[in-house]
Structure 1
Amino acid sequence: MQSIYKKIEYTMAKNRYASYIHPPYELESKLVHSIQQLDTDTATTILKKINSLERAELSKQPLTSLKYSIIGSCTIFTRAVIEAGLDTETAFILSDHYINLIDAASNINALQELEYIMLNDFINVSKRYKQYFYNPLINRVIEYIKKNIENPLTLQEISSLVDVHPNYLSAAFKKEVGKTLSEYISEVKISAIQLYLNNTNLSITEISHIFNFSHITYFSRFFKKHMGVTPKDYRKQILISKVSL
């Protein structure tokens, strides 16, 4: 354990000798705040200010060092949007996407540009889902619904999870979101079913089973009630639109 303290002291002395000091935490805090406020212009300005300072040497290889640094930025952006209310699954999917892009990058200039594209995408995704930025109780309920949408969900189950009375949760959810909990669950379920119909070769029966419908007839009725067409006809429309592109 003592060696890590020696390493810190050595690196601190080395950095001061080379006139290198990490960017002030105040700048990082301002960057996080601007991301959470969905203020792209201010966030970009602050990031440029941070990047005008010398980056830490995280590897002897300049490209690798830059990759490590920008992965650090990705982590900061991810935590910022989660703390602002973006559901963790969406935030981590975006984070994983950019970490893979950073890892695959082979050009320093392109990598530097990627950091700003990444910043914009984190803010834009947050803007798209900003209607889900509610109080902590409702955000927790929404996150649980999204993660468990394939399963039957009830008011009683969810209220027990968040330790509030069902009547209180029902009223609070309607007030915050503008729709009942049941309506919201149905919307999320329909969106998830559409993803399966659009992006997989699973049969409609298989998709019905994934979402725990007791019979494909009930599944088709549920889908048609919300989409105006059966799952079979919906998939046909998707195939036709893809062919015409």
Structure 2
Amino acid sequence: MKSIYKKIEDTMVKNRYASYIHPPYELESKLVQCIQQLDLETASYILNKINSLERAQLSNQPLTSLKYSIVGSCAIFTRAAIEGGLDTETAFILSDYYINLIDETPNVHALQELEYSMLTDFINVLKRYKQYFYNPLINRVIEYIKKNIENPLSLQEISTFAKVHPNYLSAAFKKEVGKTLSEYISEVKIGAIKLYLNNTDLSVTEISHIFNFNHITYFSRFFKKHIGLTPMEYRKQVLTATV
């Protein structure tokens, strides 16, 4: 069996011989920025530029290859929306919706149009749900927490990021949000853990590692303290409810 490195080299040669190179990362980065800035006009223009290039051959079947490519676009749009301030649950719901549409779309022309509809919807949903209830400092802190929720977060780390004294941040956060910084971090972490339990086949141990718990026992205690169920009990309850 060829090593992955050999496969990459062989494909690179094949792509160059066929005058195909993946879209420049710079274009994808600009597209991500436009989504986060809610700039649909420029985002559509950049997507046009990307699509003017030859797409990667991801399958011997042209329709299937295009579907895989647009699923890749969906992943980019989803990540851009989350990093732009859209909560992960809403972003993944929209992503799942479009992946199912991509799978069901029967022809190339409809798929091409679907990609632009998907771009429009991600920007519009981000525009609707990206609401700033708090002052700029607290909004920045909340965005930082959501982006780094898998990692242990301390008041000192967050205050360093926000460039304010820890005591000031602690008091300002409680006044604006109505809960302590620690309470809010736990709330966001629980929401993120639920997404993994609901939408992946990862084991509870694997999920505990993603969230940097030293031991699965601590992970289970943390989850049960806030939900009233262990992660396994919660997952079983969700699965039973969907049957």
User: Normalised by the shorter chain, which TM-score bucket?
Assistant: 0.5 to 0.7
Alpha-carbon deviation of 1:32?
0.5
Q: List alignment gaps of at least 5 residues for structure 1.
A: 144-160, 186-211, 213-245
Structure 2 Cα separation of the partners of residues 108 and 173 of structure 1: 52
CA gap of 1:142–1:80, structure 2 versus 1, over 3 A, is: closer
Structure 1 Cα separation of the partners of residues 96 and 167 of structure 2: 36
CA gap of 1:55–1:140, structure 2 versus 1, over 3 A, is: same
- Structure with greater Cα Rg: 1
TM-score (norm 1): 0.59
Cα contact 1:30–1:46 (8 A) shared by 2: yes
Alpha-carbon deviation of 1:131?
1.0
Alpha-carbon deviation of 1:93?
0.7
CA gap of 1:163–1:6, structure 2 versus 1, over 3 A, is: closer
Alpha-carbon deviation of 1:167?
8.7
1:34 is matched by which residue type in structure 2?
C
- Specify the alignment match of 2:4 in structure 1: 4
Alpha-carbon deviation of 1:97?
0.7
1:65 maps onto 2:69 in alignment: no
- Specify the alignment match of 1:101 in structure 2: 101
Query: How many pairs does the alignment contain?
Result: 164
CA gap of 1:166–1:41, structure 2 versus 1, over 3 A, is: same
Local SS of the residue matching 2:16 = helix
Local SS of the residue matching 1:70 = helix
1:118 is matched by which residue type in structure 2?
M
Structure 2 Cα separation of the partners of residues 24 and 142 of structure 1: 28
Structure 2 Cα separation of the partners of residues 104 and 170 of structure 1: 51
1:15 is matched by which residue type in structure 2?
N
Cα contact 2:70–2:102 (8 A) shared by 1: yes
Alpha-carbon deviation of 1:9?
1.3
1:124 maps onto 2:124 in alignment: yes
1:172 maps onto 2:173 in alignment: yes
Per-residue displacement from partner, 1:204-224 (whole Å, max 9, x unpaired)?
A: xxxxxxxx9xxxxxxxxxxxx
What's the RMSD between the two structures over aligned residues? 2.9
Alpha-carbon deviation of 1:11?
1.1
TM-score (norm 2): 0.59
Local SS of the residue matching 1:135 = helix
Structure 2 Cα separation of the partners of residues 91 and 132 of structure 1: 17
Structure 1 Cα separation of the partners of residues 62 and 170 of structure 2: 53
Structure 2 Cα separation of the partners of residues 91 and 110 of structure 1: 23
Runs of 4+ deviating beyond 6 Å? 140-143
Alpha-carbon deviation of 1:12?
1.1
1:17 maps onto 2:11 in alignment: no
- Specify the alignment match of 2:51 in structure 1: 51
Cα contact 1:85–1:139 (8 A) shared by 2: yes
CA gap of 1:5–1:136, structure 2 versus 1, over 3 A, is: same
Q: List alignment gaps of at least 5 residues for structure 2.
A: 156-165, 185-226, 228-243
Structure 2 Cα separation of the partners of residues 166 and 104 of structure 1: 53
Cα contact 2:85–2:143 (8 A) shared by 1: yes
Per-residue displacement from partner, 1:25-49 (whole Å, max 9, x unpaired)?
A: 1100110111111100000000011
